[in-house]
Amino acid sequence: MNELEVDSLVDVSLITNEGLEKHLTIAQQKLYIANRQIGHLDSQINYLRKLFRRAEKNNGHAVRYNLRMQLSISSGVKVMYHHYAAYMEHRIATIRAKINESSSSSPTPEETINERI
């Protein structure tokens, strides 16, 4: 099984404390990949806009239609990646909050020693 195949739809409250670190790492990797893809789509959209302006200048009606369709699709996919990246950022924040909560609620070594005495 691929490391990135951990189900990102699992509710964070259902994940064990041991699994939180793994889920955090995978969520960060997915966010990195999504942001990299957004950057790639930005450059593709800029290139398509340049081609579209050139086609407008040269009165290439058929080419303009094709480029406009590609621009529309690429822009829609970019918006989808932005929504996904926002979801992953929220998930990372939730996992980090749960990790901090569990680490602060666990007894310190001094508290454990005092309980034994």
Is the model's pLDDT at 73 over the cut of 80? yes
Is the model's pLDDT at 13 over the cut of 70? no
Q: How confident is the model at residue 88 (pLDDT cuts 50, 70, 90)?
A: very high
Each residue of 42-71: pLDDT tens digit? Answer: 999 999 999 999 999 999 889 999 999 999
Q: Give the whole-angstrom CA distance, residue 45 versus residue 89.
A: 24
Q: Give the whole-angstrom CA distance, residue 23 versus residue 25.
A: 6
Distance of CA 102 to the CA centre of its chain: 24
Query: In the 8-state DSSP scheme, what is residue 14?
Result: G
Residue matched to tokens 């590609």: 70
Task: Look at residue 107 in the predicted model and tell me its pLDDT.
Answer: 59
Q: How confident is the model at residue 20 (pLDDT cuts 50, 70, 90)?
A: confident
Beta strand spans in 1-117 (E): none
7-16, 87-96, 99-108: segment of lowest average pLDDT: 7-16
Angle, to 10 degrees, between the axis of helix 61-105 and the axis of helix 17-57?
Answer: 160
Q: Give the whole-angstrom CA distance, residue 96 versus residue 20.
A: 8
